Amino acid sequence: MLNISKTNTQDRGLEAVGEHERQGSYFYPLVFLVCASLRWRYICQNACLVILLPIALFACTGSNSSNSRADDKPQVVATSTIIADLAEEVGGDEIQLTGILQPGTDPHVYEPRPQDSRFLEEADLILYNGYNLEPGLIKLMNAAGTKARKLAVGEVAKPLQLDKGKGEVVPDPHVWGDVKNAIAMVNAIRDGLIKLSPEDKAEFTQNAQQLTTELQQLDSWITQQIQTIPPNKRKLVTTHDAFQYYGRAYRIPIAGTLIGISTEEQPSAQTVKQLVESIKKIGVSAIFAETTINPNLIQTVAQEAGVKLAPRQLYSDSIGAAESEGDTYSKMMAANTRSIVEALGGKYTPFPAETQKK
Ligand SMILES: [Zn+2]
């Protein structure tokens, strides 16, 4: 699991600078004043220099060396939590990874913070989803004067095209819903990291292979789990349109969504009414809230349509918080599958524990 605070090189850097300033600004003048008040100024000044200079130099060297260890590693920045998790698995200890989005944050409407520009400017490689999943960060990345190579990891998957009406067709960014796409993303991350740091090729290749094996097992397991849902109940109604790839890959049609592929759009009263009527007509047994979206409106839809709101929310555009059951990509996909299977009357069997490393 990615611990963002541990990988935040900026904060670590600031800490080191602060320490250096404290040593440089206060310690030497203080000793100097004490010496002066004892009227041994000239003797003491020389003594101070002899004693303190090596200490100061040692202190500087000490903090710089810990800094340079971190700086020696390639600086990789990932936008979404899903990509950060995959990159952490593939990059391991060989990279210094910073994930910008925090677990549970909605990438569609994320407004970059001031420090995000700095992360992007100082990166050697930026891994982002693309297909406009994270418009705020893509805009910032293109505006920032960054030396980094930029890799649209999600765009290695062939997109589903969604008609937004009025002739506007856009690619659906939620490609990770099909685990086979996530495997392609892992390969793209591996190749991007090898280009960045060729000497770590063996490590990246091995990590990617290990993760791919786990994802292949996950892919088969999800297929098998969804098949346990009675065919007439195999219909998915979610809060926003993030499960088209999942639905196609695992053969569970998307019967309706409250919001489109971007959560920027707010549903109209008319949309809500149509969804309620459609749910009543097609007869789904449960509908789903999502962890990155306020559940109030989908709750209202469930009440008005007289259906159950599934007790477990789906992880749509972000992995779960640390220690939650969805705190890695694999675990998020397994948790979603469990939520769907249990709410729609299937027979859930846990994803084999030995393949879940965390
Ligand atoms: Zn989304």
pLDDT value at residue 70: 55
Grade residue 62 by pLDDT with cuts at 50, 70 and 90. very low
Fold of 227-355: Rossmann fold (3.40.50)
Calculate how far, in angstroms, residue 214's C-alpha sits from the geometric centre of ligand 1: 25
Over residues 103-125, mean pLDDT: 95
Calculate how far, in angstroms, residue 246's C-alpha sits from the geometric centre of ligand 1: 13
For 115, other C-beta atoms within 10 Å of its C-beta total 13
Contact 186, 86 (CB under 8 A): yes
Calculate how far, in angstroms, residue 228's C-alpha sits from the geometric centre of ligand 1: 27
Calculate how far, in angstroms, residue 261's C-alpha sits from the geometric centre of ligand 1: 5
Cα separation, 208 vs 184, in Å, equals 10
Contact 73, 123 (CB under 8 A): no
Over residues 51-80, mean pLDDT: 57
Calculate how far, in angstroms, residue 317's C-alpha sits from the geometric centre of ligand 1: 5
pLDDT value at residue 83: 98
CATH class for the domain made up of 75-222: alpha beta
| Whether residue 358 has pLDDT greater than 60 | no
Grade residue 261 by pLDDT with cuts at 50, 70 and 90. confident
